[in-house]
Structures are given as C-alpha cells and as structure tokens.
Amino acid sequence: MRLRNARSLRRFRFDVETFRGHQALLRRLVRPAIAIGSFDGVHRGHAELIGRAVDRARATGGESVVLTFEPHPAQVLAPARAPRLLTTTERKLELFADLGVDVCILEPFSLALAALSPQAFVREVIADGLGAAHVVVGYNFTFGKDRAGNPETLAHLGGEHGFSVDVVAPVAADGSTLSSTLARTLVSAGDVAAARAILGRDFDVDGTVVRGAGRGHDLGYPTANIDTGGELLPAHGIYATWMRLLDGDPAKDLICATSVGTNPTFAGGALSIEAFALDFSGDLYGRRVRLGFVDRLRGEQTFDSPQALSEQIRRDVEKVRAIMTTERPP
C-alpha cells in the first residue's frame, strides 16, 4: 500500500478514506468517533473496540475513525524486539472497512511523536488535529512520553478539550484475554485453529505466486510457490488452506494442501510456502493471492525417498479434503 506523498489522499478498493497522518487531512472530520490503537491482526478484541466507535458515530451522525500508527511503535522504539506483524497495512484497511470504518488516519510513528507529553499528544493530534468528539481506547492503552498517559489521563484531558472517552474492558475467550501477542504466539506455534478463535477468522497472508524448483510437479503435485514478503508465518509443517485470487474474480476459493518449510527431503534450502490446489489446473504465475490457514496436519518431515514423500503428500491431500468439507473459507 502506498500513498503518493505525505499530504495525499487515496480511496482504497475497500472504501476507507485514508490519510497519512493528522496533518494530511484535507477536510474537517464530522463529529468523529475515534478508535485508537496499533490494531495488528484486527482481532476480536480490536473489533469490539472499533465497533464502539462505529456505533457512536452512527448514533450521532458523525464519522467513525481509526487512528493507528505506521510503522508499528515497537519497530521504532525497540526494533530488535519488534514482532513480525499479523497483518500488513493494506490488510488492516480492508478489515477496518469490514467493520464499517469511514476514515483511517495512518499516523507516522517516530521518536518525535513518542517524545510528546500526553497533554501535547492529545492537544496536537486528537483535539486540534482530528477534532475528536468521542474517543475509544482499550483498558491497557498508554500514550505520550514514557507511556505516561493512560485511559484515566485521556478521560481527564478529554474533559478539557471537549471530547468524551469510552474505555473497552478486556475481551476474553476460553479464559484468555484476546491480544495480538497471543495470536502471534499461536500462529508461530502452528496452532492456526486456536488463532482463529482470537482473530475471528482464519489467519491469512497475501503474496505473489513465483517460480520454484519444480519438484512438486515431478512428484505429481504441482505447487504454487508464494512470496509473502516476510511477514509472520506459521510454524514449519503441512496445512489445510484456502487460496483466493486477489487480482481477479474467481468463481470460488481454491482448496489447498500447503507446505511451509525448507524441503529437508531435498537437502533443505530457503524457507518456502508451496500450495497444491486440489482439483485445479491452470497457470497462477505472477498472480496475487491470499492464503488462509485452516488447520495444521503435521510438522515438517524428512523422507527417505521422493516416492515416500509423494505417498505422504497423497495422504495429506486426503486429510485436507476431509477437513475442508466442514471448515469452509470465510
């Protein structure tokens, strides 16, 4: 996703009016109800928070707004410890649109922004910059220099600047508080089925189909090799997945048996994502696709021969077909 320059506006195909920072606003927002956060993954807890802003905007005849940060604050404040992200900026915008958001502010995160006091951040960005009428944040929201601001600080400053504040309590599932960190942990461990309960949808990645070594074709299972650009991926293993073409209007999603790993049977190599689409024949090279992870079948294994690997792939495909008769793509 690109904006042409620091003051440009672009209407995305998902219909969220998007500005790169509060200073790039080209018009005055109408009674904005603003949800603030990093929103990596846009999980069920985020959906609750953003939904509050959307509901408030609709009730007051205003606009629902998401104020989020790019890059992720951890990539600026602690780059060595910054996590791989669950969602790209473009995917987040798409998910915001699904939740009914009217406007997104992609606030450039920098050391200068982080150095603002809580009072200065509220005054310059939220009040004067966006003209907030209402603000929604999570229970653990912090802001300003040294993270000195919290929801109570925000509510106090809101009283001074004329906007109200709604604080969303933790959202839990199966006794665990929903969080981006928990979702990343589950995906990284390969437990994509459990991650679905956090995200409210299958974990997915977008990428481009590129040419590989051609081993899948030699084994009787030609695969689409997908270059995702380095975002978070599930643990090495074999997965039941679906594939959606993003640069066209396919009649339906493709059901796939997908390998994430290094091909150890063939002496290993670079990490690759290889998806065998069941009941499909055609050329996908160069196509933009979305791959959704439904369930993990097994870990990555080394086989004694290509023939043994081919037989295991046959069994994997049978399992994928059985899983996908009940676990349908969204």
pLDDT tens string 260-294: 998 877 666 788 999 999 998 888 999 999 999 99
pLDDT tens string 301-312: 888 888 888 899
Helices and strands in the chain, H and E counts: 10, 15
- Report the Cα 44 to chain-centroid distance in Å: 12
Confidence at residue 191, expressed as pLDDT on a 0 to 100 scale: 98
Confidence at residue 75, expressed as pLDDT on a 0 to 100 scale: 95
Q: How far is it, in rounded angstroms, from Cα 183 to Cα 190?
A: 11
Q: Nearest Cα to 101, choosing from 158, 55, 163?
A: 55
Position 33 pLDDT exceeds 70? yes
Across-strand partners of 81?
A: none
pLDDT tens string 36-89: 999 999 999 999 999 999 999 999 999 999 999 999 999 999 999 999 999 999
The pTM assigned to this predicted structure is 0.90
Give the pair of three-digit tokens for residue 67: 């104020």
Average pLDDT over residues 159-170: 97
Tell me the CA distances in angstroms from 245 to 25, 153, 178, 284, 289, one per residue in order: 33, 46, 30, 9, 5
Q: Nearest Cα to 24, choosing from 50, 2, 3, 45?
A: 3
| Beta-strand pair 203-210/224-227 | antiparallel
Percent of the residues in the chain that have a pLDDT greater than 90, as a whole number: 76
Beta-strand runs (E) in the chain: 9-11, 17-19, 33-36, 64-70, 103-108, 134-138, 164-168, 172-173, 176-177, 203-210, 224-227, 237-245, 254-261, 272-277, 288-298
